[in-house]
A and B are shown apart, each in its own frame.
Chain A
Amino acid sequence: MLKAIAARDEAALAQLYDRYRVILFGLLMRILNNREEAEDVLQEVFLQVWRKAQDFDENRGRPFTWLVTLARSRGIDRLRTLAARERVAEAAAREAVEEFSDAATDAFKSEQRGLVNKALAQLPDEQKRPLMLAYFDGLTQSEIATRLGAPLGTVKTRMRSGLMNLREQLAGKGESFGF
C-alpha cells in the first residue's frame, strides 16, 4: 500500500487511512488528550505519509511500525509545543471517545490489543512506569528520573529491562503485529 502511495495513488492513501485511523487516533488522543489537537496531528501524519511514502524501507521494518512511530513522534512534538504536560485533571478532561466501526477495528483485532495489555500487566510497575512515561508522555530518562524521584541509572536499567521484558512476552506472537 505504501508503494502505491509513493506512486501518488490517492485511493491507497484513503485505504491506509481507513485501516489505521482508529489506532493512530487512539494513540494521539492518549498522548494529547485533546480531540482537536489529535485530529490536527492525525491529518499532519497522513500528509507526511503522502509526501514521504517513498522513504519507507520495507527491509527496515513493517508499515505498522513506521506509521505508529511517525504518529507518536508527531504527537510528542505537538505535546511539547503545547507545553501541555500539566494536563488538567486527566480523568475529568478526558473526552468521550466515539464508537468506532467494526471495519476499522478489524485490522487491530482485540487479540493483539489483549496481548499487549496482558504483557504490560505482567511487567513490574517499576519497569512499566518508565515505559509509559517515555512512550505516551514523551519524557526523557532524566525527566522520568525527576518525576519518579529515582536515580537516573536506575531509570535507565528499568526502562531497558521493561522493553526487553515486553519483547520477550510478545516474542513468537510478533507476526501478528505486522498487519
Chain B
Amino acid sequence: MVHDDYKEMIPARALSALDAAEERALNEHLENCPECRKELADWQATAASLSLASDPAEPSPEVRERILSEVRKDRAPEVIPFTPAPRRNLWTSFGSLGAIAAVVLFAALSIGLAVLWRQNQRLKSADEFVQLVNTPGAQVRELRGNDPGQSATAKLAYDRNGRAILMASKLPNVPQGKAYQLWFIVGDKPPVPGKTFVPDSTGNAVLNDELPRDAVDADVYAITVEPAGGSSAPTSPIYLRTF
C-alpha cells in the first residue's frame, strides 16, 4: 500500500471502524508519517463532534464523589501529615522577618491552640493543627455565622502547599443524609467545593483537606449543609464563613 491508500483509511480509523488487519497496517504507517498523524487528529475532531448528537444526561452525584475519593487515595502517599514541623529551618533562619513573623504567629497560635485543646480534647488533631500552623507561611482564618447569636465557630489553617485543617466546634447535628461541606470562594468565580464532614456528638469536627491551588488565600472560606456525598455547587445558605 502507498501513502494515499493509508490516507484514505484515516476517516474510518477516526471512527475506529477499521477491521483489525487494516488498523494494524495503518498504525504502522502512522508511526512514520507525521502528515497522516496530523490528518488523523483532524478527523478525530470531526468524529468527536458526533458526541453532541447524543442527548446530554446527568450522572448521579455519587460518581463525582467516587472519582474524587479515588484520586485522594491516589495522592495520599504524597501528603505526609505527621512529618514533624521543620523546626531547624525556623531557627536557622532566625533573624529574617519571616522567622520573626513565624515566631509571633507561633505564639499567637499556641494560645489559640490551648483553647482548641480544651475545646476538643483531641490530642492528635490539635497536634497536626499546630504542626501545620508552624509551617512557614501558614495562615489561620476564623469562620463565624452571620447571626451573632450563633455559637458555632471554626478555624481553618492552611499552608502554602494547600494543606488545610479545619477545626469546628458547637456545630448542630445535621439531619440523616446531610453533611457540612467546605467551600472556597475566589473573587466572582463560582465556589469551589471542598470535602464534606459530620460533627461528632459534642458538635466538634476536624477536617483534613487540600486547597486547590487557586484557593490558597481565597477571599472567603465558607461552610454549608449539603447532601452527604457533597455538591458541586452550594445548595443551601452559608452557615459559617470567614469575614
Number of inter-chain CB pairs below 8 Å: 186
Cross-chain contact A97 with B210 (CB below 8 angstroms): no
A105 to chain B, nearest CB (A): 6
Give the interface size bracket for A toward B: 35 or more
Q: Which residues of A contact B (CB under 8 A)?
A: 4, 8-15, 17-18, 21-27, 29-30, 38-39, 42-43, 46-47, 50, 60-62, 64-65, 68-69, 71-73, 76, 97-101, 103-105, 108, 112-113, 115-117, 120, 130-132, 134-136, 138-142, 144, 156, 159-160, 163-164, 166-167, 170, 174, 177
A173 CA to B35 CA, complexed, in Å? 24
Give the 6 A-B CB pairs with smallest separation, nearest first.
A11-B212, A30-B54, A134-B17, A100-B58, A134-B15, A68-B48
A75 CA to B14 CA, complexed, in Å? 15
Q: Tell me if B's interface is mostly helix, strand, loop or mixed.
A: helix
Decide yes or no whether B124 CB sits under 8 A from chain A: no
A75 to chain B, nearest CB (A): 10
- Of A23, A62, A76, the contact of B51 (CB 8 Å cutoff): A23
Decide yes or no whether B28 CB sits under 8 A from chain A: no
A97 CA to B59 CA, complexed, in Å? 9
Give the interface size bracket for B toward A: 35 or more
Interface string of B51-66 (1 = CB under 8 A from A): 1111111111011101
Cross-chain contact A135 with B59 (CB below 8 angstroms): no
Q: List 22 A-B contacts (CB under 8 A).
A: A10-B210, A11-B192, A11-B212, A21-B59, A23-B51, A25-B59, A26-B55, A27-B51, A30-B55, A39-B62, A47-B70, A69-B47, A97-B55, A108-B52, A108-B56, A112-B52, A120-B53, A132-B50, A135-B15, A159-B17, A163-B15, A163-B47
Q: Which residues of B contact A (CB under 8 A)?
A: 8, 11-12, 14-20, 37-38, 41-60, 62-64, 66-68, 70-72, 74-75, 78, 190, 192-193, 210-215, 232-233
Known: A10-B75, A11-B192, A11-B212. A68 touches B64 (CB 8 A): no
Interface centre among B56, B72, B215 (most CB of A within 10 A): B56
Known: A26-B57, A65-B45, A97-B57. 17 other contacts (CB 8 A): A11-B214, A50-B67, A60-B41, A61-B41, A76-B16, A97-B55, A98-B57, A101-B233, A115-B52, A132-B50, A135-B15, A136-B50, A139-B17, A141-B19, A144-B17, A163-B46, A166-B46
A82 CA to B90 CA, complexed, in Å? 59
Cross-chain contact B213 with A4 (CB below 8 angstroms): yes
Cross-chain contact B14 with A163 (CB below 8 angstroms): yes
Cross-chain contact B58 with A25 (CB below 8 angstroms): yes
A98 CA to B46 CA, complexed, in Å? 28
B222 to chain A, nearest CB (A): 16
Cross-chain contact B192 with A13 (CB below 8 angstroms): no
For B75, the chain A residues whose CB sits under 8 A away are 8, 10
Cross-chain contact B213 with A17 (CB below 8 angstroms): no
Interface centre among B18, B51, B75 (most CB of A within 10 A): B51
For B212, the chain A residues whose CB sits under 8 A away are 9-12, 14
Find the A residue at minimum CB distance from B215: A11
- Of B50, B71, B215, the contact of A116 (CB 8 Å cutoff): B50
For A61, the chain B residues whose CB sits under 8 A away are 41, 44-45
Cross-chain contact B12 with A174 (CB below 8 angstroms): no
A131 CA to B58 CA, complexed, in Å? 25
Cross-chain contact A42 with B63 (CB below 8 angstroms): yes
- Of B12, B16, B52, B211, the contact of A23 (CB 8 Å cutoff): B52
A26 CA to B51 CA, complexed, in Å? 8
